[in-house]
Copies of this chain bind each other. A is one copy, B any other.
């Protein structure tokens, strides 16, 4: 199995560009990237100067869910207050009920369809969180469904156990149950999986996050934290203290918070699709990068606050609302996102790297964020195979 893409503008993913180069792949690896040379190969694709870049790496999604929130969104548009919707059983708990009612096999099929849309949009590596189960049984069901869908996916799925997503009325023991029962069960079946929690008013408190994370760490799990979306509860400081791999959201972070984060080894993950869909609040990407921060951008794909899986659109939002450049945004969805996920074999178009890449319809990579709304990806290669 060998594949050559000829005559491309190669955007490496680390900030460098080769104005005209051929990319030669064998099996699932990139063999050479370089000057126009005659090669024989099973398959040859002519790029005609189009941009070739690493497949997108979407490092924060809730892409496994059941049901939808369309009725609820119509209520929001008619002016119904979000708290009233929550009290009527809507919001995240509506998705929790739908997930609990669905079998593992059907959940896997839901995810498989969404992964296929992502792949067409150029995303070859996707992080997918659990978190709509809220019980040991249903969290394990979600993680198993993610594993099942991942096995049929031409790209790569990285699962995350979002054990502290929200609370539930009538279950005062939920936090203890998650820490004492769900976490050990997840640990037994998915050792080493990242453990995540949403540190926010109405979701998990700082103290409960600390208990969850300290136990998770003692079991050898890495940690991610949803924090500072609406309220600065201290989740960022906790994350830094515990050496979390990332803190995600950061819309409510102060400049001092962003600087502190930038001076750590923890990644910041910004999710501008949520600002677009909900409240038009965006994290300050410019300040974070200027302070030297390690930034990943992700879709946050979920049925309530980010109904999208388009990384090109995330880039378009980032250059408009986060104050960052197209080139910075490209790194944040390729090499930096790979580093965040601990994947040293991808995120760059370079020899020895995994052959996950896309060819855009554009001949200038700045069009990726400049244009918006459609799918600019002409060709998708995952593991050395043309998959879209």
Chain A residues with CB under 8 Å of chain B are 68, 70, 73-74, 77, 117, 120-121, 273, 276-277, 307-310, 312-314, 316, 319-320, 325, 361, 364, 366-367, 370-375
State whether A366 and B74 are in contact (beta carbons under 8 Å apart), knowing that A313-B372, A313-B374 are contacts in the complex: yes
Bound together, the chains give a CA A310 to CA B374 distance in angstroms of: 6
Bound together, the chains give a CA A367 to CA B309 distance in angstroms of: 13
Report chain B residues within 8 Å CB of A77.
319, 325
Report chain B residues within 8 Å CB of A117.
361, 374
What would 23 A/B residue contacts be, using CB atoms closer than 8 Å?
A: A68-B367, A70-B366, A70-B370, A73-B370, A74-B325, A77-B319, A77-B325, A117-B361, A120-B375, A121-B374, A273-B372, A276-B372, A277-B320, A308-B372, A308-B373, A309-B373, A309-B374, A312-B373, A313-B373, A313-B374, A314-B373, A316-B373, A372-B373
Bound together, the chains give a CA A316 to CA B325 distance in angstroms of: 25
Bound together, the chains give a CA A312 to CA B277 distance in angstroms of: 15
Of A313, A367, A370, the most chain B CB neighbours within 10 A belong to: A370
Q: Are B374 and A375 in contact (CB under 8 A)?
A: yes
Q: Are A374 and B308 in contact (CB under 8 A)?
A: yes
Bound together, the chains give a CA A319 to CA B84 distance in angstroms of: 21
Bound together, the chains give a CA A276 to CA B372 distance in angstroms of: 10
Bound together, the chains give a CA A121 to CA B308 distance in angstroms of: 16
Bound together, the chains give a CA A280 to CA B10 distance in angstroms of: 34
Taking CB as reference atom, which chain B residue is nearest A363?
Answer: B68
A-B contacts besides A70-B364, A307-B371, 9 pairs, CB < 8 Å:
A121-B374, A308-B373, A309-B374, A310-B372, A313-B374, A314-B373, A373-B373, A374-B375, A375-B375
Q: Are B372 and A277 in contact (CB under 8 A)?
A: yes
Report chain B residues within 8 Å CB of A366.
70, 73-74
Report chain B residues within 8 Å CB of A70.
364, 366-367, 370
Q: Are A273 and B373 in contact (CB under 8 A)?
A: yes
Bound together, the chains give a CA A309 to CA B373 distance in angstroms of: 8
Of A308, A319, A325, A372, the most chain B CB neighbours within 10 A belong to: A372
State whether A373 and B319 are in contact (beta carbons under 8 Å apart), knowing that A325-B77, A364-B70 are contacts in the complex: no
Report chain B residues within 8 Å CB of A320.
277
Give A129 Cβ to nearest chain B Cβ, in Å: 19
Give A114 Cβ to nearest chain B Cβ, in Å: 10
Report chain B residues within 8 Å CB of A120.
374-375
Bound together, the chains give a CA A120 to CA B361 distance in angstroms of: 13
Report chain B residues within 8 Å CB of A316.
373
